[in-house]
Amino acid sequence: MKKDVQGNGPAGAVYGLGFIGAVIYFISTAATFWAGVLGVLKAIVWPAFLVYGAFRYLGL
C-alpha cells in the first residue's frame, strides 16, 4: 500500500533558517547568560512575534 503524503519541507526549511537567524541575533545582543537563554526561547517562538508585529502594524 502506498500512502499519498504531502510534505511540508519548504515551510520547515523557512522556519529552520529563521530559527537559526533569530538565535544568532538574540544571543549576539544578550548582555548576560540568562538573557541569552531567554533569547533562545524567543527564537523558538519567533513566528508569533512576526505575526503580532504585522497585526499591530496593520491595526488589527
**Nearest CA-CA partner of 20 in 1, 3, 40:** 40
Secondary structure class of 8 (helix, strand, coil): coil
Q: How far is CA 55 from the centre of its chain?
A: 17
What's the pLDDT tens digit per position in 21-55? 999 999 999 999 999 999 999 999 888 888 899 99
**pTM score, whole prediction:** 0.69
The half-sphere exposure of 51 on its side-chain side, counting CA atoms within 13 A, is 4
Give the pLDDT confidence score for residue 1 in this predicted structure.
66
Question: Nearest-5° angle of CA 38, CA 58, CA 27?
Answer: 20
